[in-house]
Amino acid sequence: MTSEIRGEDQVPPLVPSLVERHVGCVALKIGQVIFRLLEAELAQQLGLRIRHYSILGALSEGGPMSQQAIGNYLRIDSATMVAAIDDLEQRDLVRRERHQDDRRRYVVTITAQGEETLEAIGNLIDKFDSEHFADLTANQQGQLHKLLEKLSRGTTLTTAYDRVRNG
């Protein structure tokens, strides 16, 4: 192994250049790194996880929803969803109540404290982004964000993922 690959003189890249030429491979590794760093930051600062932020965000934007609807929207399996809602409910960030028309279902609502926590998480992530994306200019960060949003909102990846996820 050369000193360049081992990084004796510099910090090595996250993936080898041969692998780096593939958008999917670079995106995967960058996503893994961001996920791990952000999960650690959220856990340390607020005792929460990214899935908690996603659930709070979905409820804040969409209003009260069933656990199943939240799980389907966020693509979180039912066991993980129940555990995450339990976590949020114990912290008084959401309220879970029986559905009026179907007593077998629960409707989840974000609380005022949940809205405050959502804002605190957003601020924490803004700070995280500014620190961890410092290798990009503000303009480049904006461009990257727009491109990732386009992929997130597009049908190609979501349809393929849902097909694989649902078997």
**pLDDT (tens digit, 9 = 90+) per residue, 36-66?**
999 999 999 999 999 999 999 999 999 999 9
26 or 100: which carries more pLDDT confidence? 26
Nearest Cα neighbor of 53 from 4, 2, 103, 126 is 126
> With pLDDT > 70 as the criterion, what percentage of the chain qualifies?
95
Q: What is the mean pLDDT of residues 86-94?
A: 97
The pLDDT value recorded for residue 8 is: 65
Nearest Cα neighbor of 94 from 75, 122, 66, 121 is 66
Q: 47: helix, coil or strand?
A: coil
Tens digits of residue pLDDT in 131-152? 999 999 999 999 999 999 999 9
Sign of the CA dihedral running 46, 49, 136, 30? positive
What distance in Å separates the CA atoms of residue 149 and residue 91, rounded to the nearest whole number? 30
The pLDDT value recorded for residue 2 is: 47
DSSP E strands in the chain: the ranges are: 65-66, 94-98, 106-110
